[in-house]
Structures are given as structure tokens and as C-alpha cells.
């Protein structure tokens, strides 16, 4: 039986084993998917050992996405553009790194939530690994404007310069957003894990504007509450993105994309 796992620290809260078990059951596939707590300095040796043991693939979560990219013998375009990997696919001699986070987000926005990106003004908050992973897939959807704003004002400049070959990303600071309106504001900061939100000027949402937090559970609550009070017409957490990125990983491993609606409904229920 093919073996897979999510590697992270902490990883005990991960919903990935449940999601992949549901995908496998829905397609009548037999596989094993586990969760392993791995410290950062153990990632390299662990991946070598897992390869020798015959494991078929891994998902990487916090804090391994950046370091994991360097440990892969090859990487997809999505992984190169994100500078991070969340999915490892076994090769004969090592691991191929891919990144399905951005594809998962775009799929959740467009297919599940019916949120348009093409021709819209889109703002990404945060400039860490989570933000970086979604910018190229968002650009590919053809927004009228894609802006990125961060607490540390230098990081958006660096990211915009690095992704310049892919398209125009407008680097902003939180303060400079005053007076601007966006159709879609994505919170890719980790502030919510500390119960906080980025310090933003008020009235950030255009009419019908949507707020989306890449986090889910408690970590998404502060931003969603703020966004509603600020005038967002709709707010969503990132649980759908989690399920969709998992479906994309499953497709890369197993060659078939599972249906996600029932799995997402089950997690929400």
C-alpha cells in the first residue's frame, strides 16, 4: 500500500490525514496517510530515510515549506515561483517538489465561492511564505491590479521585483492604502494566530468586496470580524483552500482529482 504523510511542527492539529482518507475512500483507493512531527533540523535526514523506506509522497506544512524546497532534487514552476513546496512526489532518486497552495486558493475562490479575480482589484496582506505562494497563481487569473502590502515595508518591494517577469505586482505599505478600495482582500499574514490583525486603514472594500483569510479556525476569526465591520460584503476563511490544495496534491500523486464538496462540507459540519 502506498504511504504518504504530512510533516510539520506542530502537526497534531492537521486535518490533512482526515482529508486524504476521505479522498481515498471516495475513489475506492487503498493508501495510508499519516502525520509526523519533524523538527526543522531533522527534515533532510528524515526525507532520505523515508525515501529508502519506499514512501510515495509528503505534504510539508509549517515550518518546512521553504527548507523543503532546497531538499528537492527538482521543482515545478509553481514551487520555483513560490520559493516553497507543500507537496513532495517520489522519484527514483529523491523528491520532486511542487506547490499546490496557490492552485488550491484560486480553485476555492472561483469554483467554490464564485469570486471573480479577472478584472478585479486584488490586495494581498502579508509577505511571508503564505503570501508568496499565492501571487503567481493570482496573477495568472488576470486581475486589474494585484497589490501586496506588509507590516515590514521592504518585503513587498523585494517580492514585486522577484516576480516582475510574471507580471505587475504593486508593492504597498499598510499606511499608503488609505483611500484605496479593493474587490478582494486576502489575509496571508500569520497575525491571526496571535489573535491580531494587520493595522489597516478603514474602508478598504469596494462595493461587493470580498475578504478571504488563508487561515482557518480561530486564526481566521479576527480578520473576518474586522473585514465585516469594515464593510466587506462577504468573508471566508481558508478551509476550502486547505481542501483544494489537498485535492491538487492527491491528483499529482494518484493521477485523479477527488471531488471536494462533500469533504469540505464534512469539515465544516
Active site residues: 65
Which residues does residue 213 pair with via DSSP β-bridges, in sequence order? Answer: 187
Q: Which listed range, 19-27, 49-57, 151-159, 230-238, lies at the site for ligand ATR (CB under 6 A)?
A: 151-159
Helices (H) and strands (E) in the chain, counts: 10, 12
94 binds ligand ATR (CB under 6 A): no
By beta carbon distance, the residue nearest ligand ATR is: 128
Which residues from 126-145 bind ligand ATR, rule CB under 6 A?
A: 126-131
Per-residue burial over 21-33, b = 16 or more CB atoms within 10 Å of its CB, e = otherwise: ebbbeeeeeebeb
Q: Could you tell me if 32 and 24 are in contact, meaning their C-beta atoms sit under 8 angstroms apart? A: no
Q: What span, in angstroms and rounded, lies between the C-alpha atoms of 31 and 192? A: 34
Q: Which is nearer to ligand ATR, 58 or 223 (CB)?
A: 223
The residue from 76, 81, 150, 260 that contacts ligand ATR (CB under 6 A) is 150
Which residue stretch of 22-30, 109-117, 191-199, 228-236 sits at the interface with ligand ATR (rule: CB under 6 A)?
191-199
Tell me if 156 contacts ligand ATR by CB under 6 A: no
Q: Rounded distance, CA 5 to CA 134, Å?
A: 23
Helix 154-162 to helix 129-140 angle (10° resolution) is 40
The string of DSSP codes covering 65-92 is HHHHHHH-SEE-HHHHHHT--SEEEE-S
By beta-carbon proximity to ligand ATR, the closer residue of 130 and 138 is 130
Applying CB under 6 A, which part among 2-10, 17-25, 105-113, 146-154 lies near ligand ATR? 146-154
In angstroms, give the least distance from the CB of 4 to ligand ATR.
Answer: 22
Question: Three-class SS of residue 190?
Answer: coil
86 counts as binding ligand ATR under rule CB under 6 A: no
In the list 8, 137, 143, 198, the residue contacting ligand ATR (rule: CB under 6 A) is 198
Residues that bind ligand ATR (CB under 6 A): 126-131, 150-152, 155, 189-191, 196, 198
Amino acid at each position: 500500500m502506498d504511504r504518504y504523510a504530512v510533516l510539520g511542527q506542530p502537526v497534531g492539529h492537521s486535518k490533512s490525514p482526515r482529508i486524504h482518507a476521505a479522498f481515498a475512500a471516495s475513489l475506492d483507493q487503498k493508501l495510508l496517510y499519516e502525520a509526523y512531527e519533524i523538527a526543522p533540523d531533522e527534515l533532510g535526514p528524515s526525507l532520505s530515510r523515508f525515501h529508502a523506506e519506499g514512501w510515495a509522497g509528503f505534504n510539508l506544512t509549517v515550518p518546512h515549506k521553504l527548507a523543503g524546497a532546497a531538499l528537492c532534487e527538482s521543482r515545478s514552476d509553481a514551487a520555483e515561483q513560490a520559493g516553497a513546496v507543500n507537496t513532495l512526489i517520489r522519484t527514483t532518486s529523491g523528491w520532486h517538489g511542487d506547490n499546490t497552495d496557490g492552485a488550491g486558493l484560486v480553485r476555492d475562490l472561483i469554483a467554490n465561492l464564485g469570486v471573480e479575480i479577472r478584472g478585479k482589484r486584488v490586495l494581498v496582506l502579508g509577505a511571508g511564505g503564505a503570501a508568496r505562494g499565492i501571487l503567481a497563481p493570482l496573477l495568472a487569473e488576470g486581475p486589474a491590479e494585484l497589490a501586496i502590502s506588509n507590516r515590514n515595508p521592504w518585503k513587498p518591494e523585494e517580492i514585486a521585483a522577484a516576480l516582475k517577469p510574471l507580471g505587475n505586482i504593486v508593492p504597498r505599505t499598510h499606511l499608503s492604502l488609505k483611500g484605496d478600495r479593493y474587490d478582494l482582500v486576502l489575509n496571508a499574514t500569520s497575525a491571526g494566530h496571535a489573535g491580531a490583525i494587520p493595522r489597516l486603514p478603514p474602508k478598504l472594500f469596494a462595493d461587493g468586496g470580498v475578504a478571504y483569510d488563508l487561515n482557518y479556525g480561530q486564526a481566521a476569526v479576527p480578520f473576518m470580524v474586522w473585514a465585516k465591520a469594515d464593510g466587506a460584503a462577504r468573508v471566508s476563511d481558508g478551509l476550502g483552500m486547505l481542501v483544494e490544495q489537498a485535492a491538487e496534491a492527491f491528483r499529482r500523486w494518484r493521477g485523479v482529482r477527488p471531488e471536494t464538496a462533500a469533504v469540505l462540507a464534512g469539515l465544516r459540519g
